[in-house]
Amino acid sequence: MALEWGPLLLVTVAAFFAGSINALAGGGSFITLSALVFVGVPPVPANATGTAALLPGYIASAWSDRNLIRAPAGLSLRAVLLLATGGGAAGAVLLLATTDAAFRGIVPWLLLFATLLFAFGPALQRRLPRGEGAGGVGCCAS
């Protein structure tokens, strides 16, 4: 199999920008998924590949912000980590059980939902109740 430099350059540049975006605000997987699908990787493996490629950045960001991480009221940080790990594992199992055709149909809606949450998240947070117990469900649902 001959190495094609165009697709390799595209995914390399996409990975660089995705990692940079993740370090600043998150959402870099939008770029990796799009770039990998564009160069011909099927959607489900593209999603898994992009996630695996960005994993070191996720870990580094979490480590650098470890002093800023707080569990929502009513939950321990351990509980949040367990919920996040369980949610990630459930998502991985669902992804592996999803056909490429179904994933192609779902992804635009998931990206739209994530974009809307990102765009309107601050306004929604201002409207949510503050105080004891507030935020636990939102934290777990994200």
Q: Could you write out the DSSP letters of every residue in 58-100? A: HHHHHHHTTTT--PPTT--HHHHHHHHHHHHHHHHHHHHHS-H
Percent of the chain's residues with pLDDT above 70: 89
Residue 137 banded pLDDT, cuts 50, 70, 90: very low
3-state helix, strand, coil in the chain (%, to 5): 75, 0, 25
pLDDT in tens, 49-100: 988 888 888 888 888 888 888 888 888 888 988 998 999 999 989 998 999 9
How far apart, in whole angstroms, are the C-alpha atoms of residue 43 and residue 127?
36
- What is the structure's pLDDT at 131? 56
- What is the structure's pLDDT at 77? 84
Q: Is the pTM of this model over 0.75?
A: no
Q: Give me 102's structure tokens.
A: 């179904």
Q: Is the model's pLDDT at 139 over the cut of 80? A: no
- What is the structure's pLDDT at 142? 46
- What is the structure's pLDDT at 102? 95
Q: Give me 132's structure tokens.
A: 């004891």
Contact 21, 31 (CB under 8 A): yes
Residue ranges of domains in the chain = 1-69, 71-142
Contact 52, 38 (CB under 8 A): no
Q: Is the model's pLDDT at 133 over the cut of 80? A: no
Contact 53, 15 (CB under 8 A): yes
